[in-house]
A and B are shown apart, each in its own frame.
Chain A
């Protein structure tokens, strides 16, 4: 339901070099940040570029920086994040190259997933029986805690270490690697551990926890990375690294 209030919205226009443009958007009683961006593009600025897909909090496409924090805009109620003076500042996700306005280039984010050996490889064929994995087994529980990641890059965008070290694989890639380290069917585990160890991997995480705090799916990459540190240390001591 419309109110008489107006939102003062600043939206990033341009690439890495650019500026914020100001728009006034009618305030509604129940309104998400994605509603605001959509209103601007439809009625005020047709050349604004932004991404969205499901608009119901499942796909992660609409992730942007809202008032300094990475969030899913379709799941962010304006009422919860409004600044003083009815202000909203909307920018593209941090730590990623900007293609245009609110759209970032996600290639490096997914390339790091590959570099962390975040893809499953097993030995079973169609002729083999299914693997039997107990849901209550500790490895399976560790996998369950991290498997719902949809690669939205909110964690990657929130991580200070990613900002300081461009090679750092990042929370999402390491979280995915952790789910595979705990996958009893997966092979090439020493290679995976070597890929996630060291200064591009788990050892450089400072456990600041912004990733865990901001993950829209309540995944805890911090715990996954801690698990990787323990597993790599054990492998190093046993000469398996």
Chain B
């Protein structure tokens, strides 16, 4: 794969994941407001998420979209503000993606399983 193609793909995956994130963030905010306004306790919330595979699917998609979206921008910032080279920036992004994926999916599993 040539460099231009790789970079074009990174660009449009960042855009596509951004579109997914817009929806996820809105739904997440509505859920948050509902839970807080409704006076739900932590125990009550967990009772609703346990075994709720719809909830798990939604938040898994959210986590994956983050893991796709964040590293591209992070690599750019690392290169522009911290002077990292191209490869170093890419590897920083990938490492962060793994971190987000790991921590995020673990959290989803923890509240659903």
Could you tell me which A residues sit within 8 Å of B by CB distance? 161, 164-165, 193-195, 197-199, 201, 203-204, 229, 232-233, 235-237, 241
Do residues B4 and A197 form an inter-chain contact, with CB atoms below 8 A? yes
Is B76 part of the contact surface with A, judged by Cβ < 8 Å? yes
Counting from the closest, the 6 A-B pairs by CB-CB distance are: A198-B7, A197-B4, A236-B8, A194-B4, A164-B80, A233-B12
Q: Is the interface of A mostly helix, strand, loop or mixed?
A: helix
Separation in Å of the A222 CB from the closest CB of chain B?
A: 16
Do residues A198 and B12 form an inter-chain contact, with CB atoms below 8 A? no
CB nearest to B79 among chain A residues: A165
Instruction: Pick the contact of B86: A161, A195, A199 (CB < 8 A).
Output: A199
Is B11 part of the contact surface with A, judged by Cβ < 8 Å? yes
Instruction: Pick the contact of B3: A165, A198, A204, A233 (CB < 8 A).
Output: A198
Is B41 part of the contact surface with A, judged by Cβ < 8 Å? no
A-B contact pairs, 14 of them (CB 8 A): A164-B81, A165-B79, A197-B4, A197-B5, A197-B8, A199-B79, A199-B86, A203-B7, A204-B76, A235-B8, A236-B5, A236-B12, A237-B12, A241-B4
Q: Across the A-B interface, how many residue pairs have beta carbons closer than 8 Å?
A: 45
Separation in Å of the A178 CB from the closest CB of chain B?
A: 16
CB nearest to A235 among chain B residues: B8
Do residues B8 and A198 form an inter-chain contact, with CB atoms below 8 A? yes
Residues in B whose Cβ lies below 8 Å from that of A237:
12
Considering the chains assembled together, what is the distance between the CA atoms of A204 and B44 in angstroms? 46
Is B48 part of the contact surface with A, judged by Cβ < 8 Å? no
Instruction: Pick the contact of B11: A161, A164, A233, A235 (CB < 8 A).
Output: A233
User: Are A236 and B9 CB-contacts (below 8 A) given A164-B80, A241-B4?
Assistant: yes
Is B2 part of the contact surface with A, judged by Cβ < 8 Å? yes
Residues in B whose Cβ lies below 8 Å from that of A235:
8
User: Are A241 and B86 CB-contacts (below 8 A) given A164-B80, A165-B80, A194-B2?
Assistant: no
Interface contacts beyond A164-B80, A197-B5: sample of 7 additional A-B pairs, CB < 8 Å, sorted by A: A161-B80, A164-B81, A203-B10, A229-B11, A233-B8, A237-B12, A241-B4
Chain B interface, number of residues (Cβ within 8 angstroms): 17
Do residues A241 and B79 form an inter-chain contact, with CB atoms below 8 A? no
Separation in Å of the A196 CB from the closest CB of chain B?
A: 8
CB nearest to B8 among chain A residues: A236
Do residues B7 and A199 form an inter-chain contact, with CB atoms below 8 A? yes
Considering the chains assembled together, what is the distance between the CA atoms of A235 and B2 in angstroms? 13
Residues in B whose Cβ lies below 8 Å from that of A241:
2, 4-5, 8
Considering the chains assembled together, what is the distance between the CA atoms of A204 and B4 in angstroms? 12
Of residues 12 to 70 in B, which have CB atoms within 8 Å of A's CB atoms? Answer: 12, 15
Do residues B2 and A203 form an inter-chain contact, with CB atoms below 8 A? no
Separation in Å of the B113 CB from the closest CB of chain A?
A: 37
Separation in Å of the B1 CB from the closest CB of chain A?
A: 9
User: Are A197 and B7 CB-contacts (below 8 A) given A164-B80, A165-B79, A204-B76?
Assistant: yes
User: Are A232 and B8 CB-contacts (below 8 A) given A194-B2, A198-B3, A199-B86?
Assistant: yes
Residues in A whose Cβ lies below 8 Å from that of B11:
203, 229, 232-233
Separation in Å of the B26 CB from the closest CB of chain A?
A: 23
Do residues A232 and B79 form an inter-chain contact, with CB atoms below 8 A? no
